Amino acid sequence: MLHLGSIGGTSIDVDFNFIFLVLFFVVMNYNASQGMHYALLWIPILFLSVLIHELAHAGAIALFGFGSSQIILTGMGGVTINRRRARPWQDLIISVAGPLSSFGLWFLCIWLYAKVPVVRSDRMLVALVPLLGAANWWWGIFNLIPVPPLDGGHATRDFFRMFLSERKSFVIAIWIAMIVGGAVVAWSAIGRQFFVALFIGFLVYRAYGQWRYFQDHGVPGD
């Protein structure tokens, strides 16, 4: 684990498997006609995108008065750790804060490209800013898929927790996860997006495991 420092009391650490995630994206996006420098743009894109996303979660947590958090950049993106006892509506807002920040960064990239001349003239920025924007658009959409531990999965369960019991909320949320997740896997496989299909398929399998655990032991924790 590599400790990068802290922002407002929230520590920021990088798990070494995050480096493998970055290398995977660099290799997958290498194109001989564009050169290695284009593929290497994924290093700052992934770092900034995941970090800002997790900082949004940490910021929402702090605004509700639950103190500082720990952010870890991992091979599955990132996680914000905070031991809190929040109300369901607070957890819902904390969950969606991450995707909203991704959409905000996407909008900022569009604005910069349209309004700041240097972004359209500098060779690096011409390549970086649109790619950063597109990545965050899809990162925001991806995280809203209602399959835990994605933000959409947590938000779905938190939404039902606002007016239903923990048991009923879990049952509804986990079935939404398995059905919608399965549909995403099928759609991704048809579109030859095999990485997305495998990743979401793994999360659906985990959701099924939670359902089996629920049948034997009751509502599992996060």
Task: Sketch the domain layout of the chain as residue ranges.
Answer: 1-144, 146-222
**What does pTM read for this prediction?**
0.90
User: What pLDDT, on a 0 to 100 scale, did the predictor assign at position 221?
Assistant: 62
Out of 145-149, 167-171, 218-222, least confident range: 218-222
Higher pLDDT, 192 or 108: 108
d(CA 72, CA 1): 9
Which pLDDT tens digit goes with each residue over 43-68?
A: 999 999 999 999 999 999 999 999 99
Which pLDDT score, from 0 to 100, does residue 195 have? 86
Question: So what's the pLDDT on residue 118?
Answer: 92
Residue 161: what pLDDT?
95
Exposed/middle/buried for residue 103 (C-beta within 10 Å: 0-12, 13-18, 19+): middle
Give residue-wise pLDDT tens across range 115-137: 999 998 898 899 999 999 999 99
User: What CA–CA distance (Å, rounded) separates 177 from 181?
Assistant: 5
